[in-house]
Amino acid sequence: MKIKVGISSCLLGQEVRFNGGHKHSKLCTNTLDTYFDFISECPEVGIGLGIPREPIRLTGDTASPRAISTNNSELDYTDDLTQFGQQKAKQYDEICGYIFMTSSPSCGLFRVKVYGENGYPQPGGGRGIYAQAITDANPLLPVEESGRLQDHALRENFITRVFAYHNWQQTLTAGLSHKAIIDFHVTYKYCLMAHSPVDYTKLGQMVADAGNSEPNELGQRYFTGLMTALTHVATRKTHTNVLMHLQGYLKKVLSSDEKQELAKIIEQYRIDQVPLIVPITLLKHHFANHPDPYISKQAYLQPYPEDLSLRNRI
């Protein structure tokens, strides 16, 4: 069953942009759609604007900009886009992520141009009106924009978060309990260590004290901490730390030559000579030959389907 993910319609090749064009993303339609069931939306069309249409832009304060027609300053679409986003957010209770169109005054997530009174873009930019409404309604939802997905590390981070979010929703569906939360934490222990060692420690302490909290309350606190931690992009340094921890589980079963080879590969990754997939593949090989019941539960070795090849370039 595919994971439901929201997406800007133009990224699927739909001709809904102000000029009647699109911004087709082959990454989305040729790769990610294997695992994602995309729920598409063009908010500007959704509020009744035509195709083609006069473009809009953000003006005013970068923290709370207005969406104004570029050719008629009296046409303000801010409230319509906000209300449309709030309405859609209520309908999107099953989505586990959202991919927005870069730079769009309605859908852009980061550094969207916001024009000041002098007619020039202001430093830092802002967020699209519809995107702001969606993220305000669900601040833990994994979100990313199309342009940033071209960065391999950011792409891997987003996909990791989507699958983690989906797996948590499955845990909720099965029924939340202290055991379910602890089991989930065990599964994501090394993912957390790679993304945020500080949050890894905090969440470990939270779970260790699980018996003192009601499961639903604990689950909400844990999930908030989990998704916050995973927003941190794992680094070569933090990945190396995890790889060395995993290596420790093999010290009693590998030969001297195998230990040296594994240590060498991990060091080559640390100094940026090989991508992450190389030490991961070797570790998976050794754990296949020497199964460990604890490591077999870890999502870190495969947090998403292998054929997405996300670790080949990080």
Q: What is the pLDDT of residues 301-313, one digit of tens each?
A: 999 999 999 999 9
- Share in percent of the chain as helix, strand, coil (round to 5): 50, 10, 40
Q: Which residues of 290-303 are buried (b: 16+ CB within 10 A; e: fewer)?
A: eeeeebeebbbbeb
pLDDT in tens, 165-175: 999 999 999 99
Report the pLDDT averaged over residues 16-33.
97
d(CA 293, CA 290): 10
Number of neighbouring beta carbons within 10 Å of residue 225: 19
d(CA 106, CA 134): 11
d(CA 152, CA 4): 22
pLDDT in tens, 43-102: 999 999 999 999 999 999 999 999 999 999 999 999 999 999 999 999 998 999 999 999
d(CA 125, CA 145): 15
Using CA of residue 32, residue 276, residue 300, residue 294, what is the dihedral sign? positive
d(CA 167, CA 193): 18
Predicted pLDDT at 285? 98
pLDDT in tens, 207-252: 999 989 999 999 999 999 999 999 999 999 999 999 999 999 999 9
**4: helix, strand or coil:** strand
Predicted pLDDT at 201? 97
d(CA 184, CA 112): 37
pTM of the model: 0.96
Q: How many angstroms separate the first and last alpha carbons of the chain?
A: 28
Predicted pLDDT at 147? 97
Distances 21 to 85, 102, 146 between C-alpha atoms, Å? 22, 15, 16
Q: Assess whether pLDDT exceeds 90 at residue 10.
A: yes
d(CA 157, CA 172): 23
- Kindly list the domain boundaries of the chain, sorted by start residue: 3-150, 170-314
- Residue 106 CB contacts under 8 Å (≥ 6 apart), including other chains: 43, 44, 56, 67, 81, 128, 129, 130, 131
* Among 144, 50, 46, 51, residue whose Cα is nearest residue 88: 46
